[in-house]
Structure 1
Amino acid sequence: MSKRLRSSEVCADCSAQDPCWASINRGILICDECCSVHRSLGRHISQVRHLKHTPWPPTLLQMVETLYNNGANSIWEHSLLDPASVMSGRRKANPQDKVHPNKAEFIKAKYQMLAFVHRLPCRDDDSVTAKDLSKQLHSSVRTGNLETCLRLLSLGAQANFFHPEKGNTPLHVAAKAGQILQAELLAVYGADPGTQDSNGKTPVDYARQGGHHDLAERLVEIQYELTDRLAFYLCGRKPDHKNGQHFIIPQMADSSLDLSELAKAAKKKLQSLSNHLFEELAMDVYDEVDRRETDAVWLATQNHSTLVTEKTVVPFLPVNPEYSSTRNQGRQKLARFNAHEFATLVIDILSDAKRRQQGNSVTGSKENVELILKAINSRHNSENQDIDQPDYDSVASDEDTDLETNAAKASRQKSLDSDLSDGPVTAQEYMQVKNALMASEVKIQQLMKVNINLSDELRIMQKKASKLEKQNSMPESDYDNPTPSLELDEPGSGRKGRQRSVIWQGEGSIPENTDTDAAPSSTLPSTEDVIRKTEQITKNIQELLRAAQENKHDSYIPCSERIHVAVTEMAALFPKKPRSELVRTSLRLLTSSAYRLQSECKKTLPVEPCPTTDIQLVTQQVIQCAYDIAKAAKQLVTITTKENNN
């Protein structure tokens, strides 16, 4: 790690002295307390890394420090720099503020809501704006001005934009110009070093062609970042890419444990996943590795005499609203894997990633990733048949997290060896690891038993709520079952959105329209009517988000009811059977998200004997539902405007 540039650094969020964490995709340095909030938001919002206790690629650290020193924080606090903000009472947090609610609310507004960033003038066609911004990015990366490029990315420029006239991407331009820090920034925002230009060349090719050998080697590392990180987690080494070794596959010391039929079935299902689903699973496991490693650093750097503080604990991966609720549930289940199970999953992913890159095919299948996780999980559970698996996971306590972290460290000692190294770990070492795991497993089993009854009671309450919804508030339409939503990008998120489906997860499903006699209609309402209803929906959503920001949880239900009424009124403008598939998809997303919103908001009711609700998790789901509603309404405005103008 390079030396810190100067000693006068302050936290970007609260101005505390000597920050020891960095948010890579935001280009800022932050203190311990603010970092705890960043971690709770998830890596899709902020990618945190400790400045001293985490290994850094030198140029990545240089990129963050360059952004920090050139005022990257002003991008995220643009409107706060306006003197009018001081007059209106809007201010950033300070070191003396409490983490909750003061610092947490400010950080969420700053990075999750993007409340203070510069807003471009409204335009009818957002794609044109994104294209213009991406062209500016394409041109800017040939220079050394990182802050300009981060600003463009924060406004919605696409790191993987393929310039139609130039026939290449911004990463090709940066590589050709030898701009290694620009390449680091683009990669953080999702640029792919393996992308070919119109001549069939990759950014790596252009870096080598221009004599930028350090850049070329770094681009290869970035290309294998996911599998390198997984291998390093298990055995503390990375492949030697310079000499053509791109994968290390660690081996379990006691491989006999993985020869059961369940283990074989799990591996077979993993191999039969489509490339897209396999990539999603690998990305989720990468995020879980990051969470576990950051946890270890977090615990090592805290004052253990005062460990129970108001700092946020992250016991499992936070909800990513760009992903379906099914995928979010699968991601959170990864935290339940003990060290041995998780190491097995990581090894299986590394093995299959190598197989797929080498082009070895396996018969395709549409198995859900969730089945893979269940199959691997069941290797352990089959040895404990008296323990029933609840549908919903209990939340790990601070003590469990500490135990799991120790087990993970022990597991790393157990899994030291690769297919290129010096043999398996001894039986004695394995028994030491097994003993370390037992303490964690006993605690988890106790929590699972307690959770069984609570989960059953929760499901009963959800069924009752669903029945009431069916009886009291079902509109007569054919678009109440959600279907896969459109792919989306969120400016400033640091990662392309991959939300492929928004699935109704309540116990009672929303029924199909029974009016089969209605004829498909191509008639659409007037643009003015749709805009008016959208404005009403937006106003109600803003009210809900304000309640969330101010922790007024008792306002969730009345807000959700007003949103539901506004959504119903908007849906009533459209024919019962729209001819346009795009209209039907948007209406399904609109109405199903409104139902999900009501269901989530009802979880704030203090109903006995329902277990204590995790308000933070509910709030994240509420925000996701509100986002889906606003997105669907915007799609309908765009569609009706376009159709009515034709």
Structure 2
Amino acid sequence: MSKRLRSSDLCADCSGPDPSWASVNRGTFICDECCSVHRSLGRHISQVRHLKHTPWPPTLLQMVETLYNNGANSIWEHSLLDPASITSGRRKANPQDKVHPNKAEFIRAKYQMLAFVHRLPCRDDDSVTAKDLSKQLHSSVRTGNLETCLRLLSLGAQANFFHPEKGNTPLHVASKAGQILQAELLAVYGADPGTHDSSGKTPVDYARQGGHHELAERLVEIQYELTDRLAFYLCGRKPDHKNGQHFIIPQMADSSLDLSELAKAAKKKLQSLSNHLFEELAMDVYDEVDRRETDAVWLATQNHSTLVTETTVVPFLPVNPEYSSTRNQGRQKLARFNAHEFATLVIDILSDAKRRQQGSSLSGSKDNVELILKTINNQNSIESQDNDQPDYDSVASDEDTDLETTASKANRQKSLDSDLSDGPVTVQEFMEVKNALVASEAKIQQLMKVNNNLSDELRIMQKKASRLEKQNSTPESDYDNTPNDTEPDDTGSSRKGRQRSMVWPGECSMPDPPEPHTAPSPTLPSTEDVIRKTEQITKNIQELLRAAQENKHDSYIPCSERIHVAVTEMAALFPKKPKSDMVRTSLRLLTSSAYRLQSECKKALPGDSGSPTDVQLVTQQVIQCAYDIAKAAKQLVTITTKENNN
């Protein structure tokens, strides 16, 4: 086997050096640029993790390393290894190719279309082929040959296949044989550790009977992976499964609970979902947690080269064609929940998961997730009129605007007499909540690192900009944040590059500037001016994050005011009606985030809340606002640099 196929030192997609990301379900290592495309495909196509900055279960990382070092990439590039492919003009991407369209088109063909995978001869009955593949998988998992099993899975073998003669699943077989890496691979492809065989035993039972204690413990972790990940996202801790603790539900105190009848009714519908539909909703929330955490790692690990490359932005969950249009809409709108709203939704999911696991039941309901998302009415009609057109893929519906406003209120409902309550807050629970602040501080450290890197990037770009001819700017203009009725709707893939833009419930609304009757202007400010203003913004963000890290909450407001002034000055550099969609989108994110930041910082004033939990939630939201402002400023530097160099 060639060294290229065995080496984990090269990107699987473009052969670039030192890949820092992994595609877990594909068994490959990839570079930053290729990873940006993987992220835009969605987790149903590629599940990405950073090799150093993402927590890894040791055996999961070992599984990916084993696959890649044993030629897993040849599964996805089978036909490209044929010498005839060179003469036909088919080739894989190389490090010098542009991300768009070269690398992106190749990666989509490789993983989404499976254009280079070895195809089996066609049969009249496809189900027979799938059954044969699954039987082969069933017998192969008792060995250590991971790449064979990955090849079978890539061809359509089912990880949860129940063998009619053997009376069990591949995961039962792997567990009995003590094949922990095979168990990891099967779990990545959806194998359920809780499945019973014909004797009523689970894979965990067989692992314990065989003395494979590490495997048994790992299977339990996999069984609770969804709720563990949600709990870790909230408070940075995981349950102690060895001692029978399977759930952690932080008691987030909240003085601004929505106690409306509508919120109570929506909460009751959530509790009344069937287990299957509840699992769907929980999986969607899990995917959104993964997107948010991966986005934070992505931002923290980028260097100056990303300023001049067209890496893909993933502002919300990509469309999964296997899901309904309504479910995809709901998944995408999860991105518009602010940190406080999303945290309460996660708590509700954890609480209901615990209730269901313990066997407590509520009366059934015919309502499903899609119906709940469709029928929840919006009570904030004034805010909905101020919202811009939907910022989603073509699946988004114009009639479904502002779902997140009421849905998030519904998910915030925390009735004191709820049967989900764990009772009075104990010292242990208080410490769990306090740990959430530790998690926030870790994010602060990441953002401070990002801002330091961004400052370095700006200095590099400023040197380049000084060699450019300075172009006319329009300092007297002001950015228009109101919707442009004459702007054509985005359809299809054109929605994918757009960022979210809205004012959250309870936050101050942005004042609408006077609307001049002018045509869209193509003129952009000079790169040097944009860099100078961005430096002011990042410097002030650093001060704010330092105050958050040192728990100096009285410094939040002055810092936010300085950031707002710097943002206003930067926005004023740009035309009233920029011609570029990307400029408009970035400016909307920049200015709306600055207003949101001011509103959130006011909540940290003494007397507004008496509990540490409230301060923690405010800190999370402050971090999110700072993140959005830094991201938008960086986008504007990138855009103006490219445009002024053309």
Q: State if a TM-score over 0.5 links the two structures.
A: yes
- Report how far residue 453 of structure 1 moved: 4.4
1:124-139 to 2 correspondences below 5 Å: 124-139=124-139
* Cα 1:175–1:34 shift into 2, 3 Å: same
Q: Report if aligned partners of 1:249, 1:419 keep a CA contact under 8 Å in 2.
A: no
**Post-superposition CA distance 1:524-547 (Å, at most 9, x none):** xxxxxxxxxxxxxxxxxxxxxxxx
State yes or no: 1:317 paired with 2:317: yes
Root-mean-square deviation (CA, aligned residues, Å) is: 3.4
Question: 1:498 maps to what in 2?
Answer: none
Q: Report if aligned partners of 2:7, 2:69 keep a CA contact under 8 Å in 1.
A: no
Q: Report if aligned partners of 1:37, 1:104 keep a CA contact under 8 Å in 2.
A: yes
* Cα 1:141–1:377 shift into 2, 3 Å: farther
Q: Report if aligned partners of 2:79, 2:117 keep a CA contact under 8 Å in 1.
A: yes
- Report how far residue 357 of structure 1 moved: 1.2
- Paired with 2:376 and 2:56, the residues of 1 have a C-alpha distance of 32
Question: 1:509 maps to what in 2?
Answer: none
1:475-624 to 2 correspondences below 5 Å: none
- Paired with 2:388 and 2:10, the residues of 1 have a C-alpha distance of 44
**Post-superposition CA distance 1:9-37 (Å, at most 9, x none):** 10000000000000000000000000000
Greater CA drift, 386-395 or 252-261: 386-395
Greater CA drift, 204-213 or 274-283: 274-283
Question: 2:327 maps to what in 1?
Answer: 327
**Post-superposition CA distance 1:487-522 (Å, at most 9, x none):** xxxxxxxxxxxxxxxxxxxxxxxxxxxxxxxxxxxx
* Cα 1:8–1:73 shift into 2, 3 Å: closer
* Cα 1:71–1:349 shift into 2, 3 Å: same
In structure 1, the residue corresponding to 2:26 is in which secondary structure? Answer: coil
State yes or no: 1:26 paired with 2:26: yes
- Paired with 2:362 and 2:208, the residues of 1 have a C-alpha distance of 35
State yes or no: 1:121 paired with 2:121: yes
Q: Report if aligned partners of 1:250, 1:419 keep a CA contact under 8 Å in 2.
A: no
1:394 maps to amino acid: D
Q: Report if aligned partners of 1:78, 1:118 keep a CA contact under 8 Å in 2.
A: yes
- Report how far residue 262 of structure 1 moved: 4.2
In structure 2, the residue corresponding to 1:421 is in which secondary structure? Answer: helix
Greater CA drift, 23-32 or 324-333: 324-333
Question: 2:391 maps to what in 1?
Answer: 394
Question: 1:342 maps to what in 2?
Answer: 342
Q: Report if aligned partners of 2:99, 2:309 keep a CA contact under 8 Å in 1.
A: no
- Paired with 1:180 and 1:13, the residues of 2 have a C-alpha distance of 28
- Report how far residue 53 of structure 1 moved: 0.1
In structure 2, the residue corresponding to 1:22 is in which secondary structure? Answer: strand
* Cα 1:368–1:28 shift into 2, 3 Å: same
Which 5+ residue runs of structure 2 have no aligned equivalent?
1-5, 394-424, 445-477, 493-578, 583-646
Q: Report if aligned partners of 2:8, 2:68 keep a CA contact under 8 Å in 1.
A: no
- Report how far residue 223 of structure 1 moved: 0.3
2:163 maps to amino acid: H
State yes or no: 1:353 paired with 2:361: no
- Paired with 1:447 and 1:60, the residues of 2 have a C-alpha distance of 48
In structure 1, the residue corresponding to 2:54 is in which secondary structure? Answer: coil
Question: 1:422 maps to what in 2?
Answer: 430
- Paired with 2:154 and 2:318, the residues of 1 have a C-alpha distance of 22
Question: 1:191 maps to what in 2?
Answer: 191
Question: 2:99 maps to what in 1?
Answer: 99
- Paired with 1:99 and 1:365, the residues of 2 have a C-alpha distance of 48
- Paired with 2:373 and 2:343, the residues of 1 have a C-alpha distance of 13
- Report how far residue 375 of structure 1 moved: 8.8
**Post-superposition CA distance 1:131-172 (Å, at most 9, x none):** 111011000000000000000000110000000000000000
* Cα 1:385–1:205 shift into 2, 3 Å: same
Aligned positions, number: 423
Question: 2:265 maps to what in 1?
Answer: 265
- Paired with 2:190 and 2:198, the residues of 1 have a C-alpha distance of 20
Question: 2:363 maps to what in 1?
Answer: 363
- Report how far residue 47 of structure 1 moved: 0.2
* Cα 1:17–1:271 shift into 2, 3 Å: same
Which 5+ residue runs of structure 1 have no aligned equivalent?
1-5, 397-416, 437-445, 463-609, 614-646
1:423-502 to 2 correspondences below 5 Å: 450-451=482-483, 453=485, 458=489
- Paired with 2:351 and 2:62, the residues of 1 have a C-alpha distance of 33
Q: Report if aligned partners of 2:251, 2:429 keep a CA contact under 8 Å in 1.
A: no
* Cα 1:238–1:451 shift into 2, 3 Å: farther
In structure 2, the residue corresponding to 1:121 is in which secondary structure? Answer: coil
- Report how far residue 254 of structure 1 moved: 1.9
Question: 1:605 maps to what in 2?
Answer: none
- Report how far residue 354 of structure 1 moved: 0.8
* Cα 1:424–1:131 shift into 2, 3 Å: closer
1:19-418 to 2 correspondences below 5 Å: 19-303=19-303, 306-307=306-307, 309-370=309-370, 372=372, 382=380, 385-388=382-385, 393-394=390-391
In structure 1, the residue corresponding to 2:104 is in which secondary structure? Answer: helix
- Paired with 1:360 and 1:315, the residues of 2 have a C-alpha distance of 37
Greater CA drift, 193-202 or 256-265: 256-265
* Cα 1:34–1:306 shift into 2, 3 Å: closer
Q: Report if aligned partners of 2:269, 2:372 keep a CA contact under 8 Å in 1.
A: yes
* Cα 1:448–1:191 shift into 2, 3 Å: farther
Question: 1:410 maps to what in 2?
Answer: none
- Report how far residue 374 of structure 1 moved: 7.6
2:430 maps to amino acid: D
Q: Report if aligned partners of 2:207, 2:216 keep a CA contact under 8 Å in 1.
A: yes
Identical columns (%): 84
- Report how far residue 369 of structure 1 moved: 2.2
1:194 maps to amino acid: G
- Paired with 2:192 and 2:11, the residues of 1 have a C-alpha distance of 31
- Paired with 1:63 and 1:8, the residues of 2 have a C-alpha distance of 13
- Report how far residue 261 of structure 1 moved: 3.7
Q: Report if aligned partners of 1:193, 1:202 keep a CA contact under 8 Å in 2.
A: yes
Question: 2:556 maps to what in 1?
Answer: none
- Report how far residue 256 of structure 1 moved: 4.4
Q: Report if aligned partners of 1:193, 1:203 keep a CA contact under 8 Å in 2.
A: yes
- Report how far residue 366 of structure 1 moved: 2.7
* Cα 1:83–1:365 shift into 2, 3 Å: same
- Report how far residue 362 of structure 1 moved: 1.2
- Paired with 1:192 and 1:99, the residues of 2 have a C-alpha distance of 37
- Paired with 1:365 and 1:40, the residues of 2 have a C-alpha distance of 35
In structure 2, the residue corresponding to 1:257 is in which secondary structure? Answer: coil
* Cα 1:311–1:259 shift into 2, 3 Å: same
- Paired with 1:298 and 1:48, the residues of 2 have a C-alpha distance of 11
